[in-house]
């Protein structure tokens, strides 16, 4: 599957919530709900495991993504993702990335910044 970089730098196409949604796999939704419940100490239900990707227009969004300040800001600015922002690595983005237990988001944004000649 091709990469699908979210506003924050996460690869939606690699996200287990996105993958379970796109394959419409209820067993996988249950597995992800249990796994993420332990990881984030929250009672996720399989029906919470639905997302069409951060940048989707009118699609389903996973819980936090629907109210994510990074997503809201980037959409208001009309950005493809935060790597394109003049305020790159603002407090909002840094706060979110500090909570994500996956260094790939920072790496993805850094790669995009380099390809744009901004680093």
Delimit the domains of the chain by residue range: 12-115
What is the pLDDT, as a whole number, of residue 19?
A: 96
Question: What 3-state class would DSSP assign to 11?
Answer: strand
How far apart CA 41 and CA 35 sit, in angstroms, is 10
Is residue 1's pLDDT more than 70? no
Angle at 94 between CA 89 and CA 98, to 5 degrees: 145
Q: Is the pTM of this model over 0.85?
A: yes
């Amino acid at each position: 599957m091709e990469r699908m970089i979210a506003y924050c730098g996460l690869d939606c196409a690699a996200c287990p919530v996105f993958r379970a949604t796109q394959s419409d796999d209820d067993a996988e939704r249950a597995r992800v709900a249990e796994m993420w419940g332990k990881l984030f100490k929250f009672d996720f239900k399989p029906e919470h495991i639905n997302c069409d990707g951060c940048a989707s227009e009118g699609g389903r969004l996973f819980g936090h993504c629907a109210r994510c300040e990074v997503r809201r800001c980037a959409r208001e600015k009309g950005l493809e993702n935060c790597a394109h922002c003049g305020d790159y690595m603002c407090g909002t983005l840094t706060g979110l990335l500090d909570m994500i237990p996956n260094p790939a988001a920072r790496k993805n944004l850094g790669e995009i910044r380099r390809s744009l000649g901004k680093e």
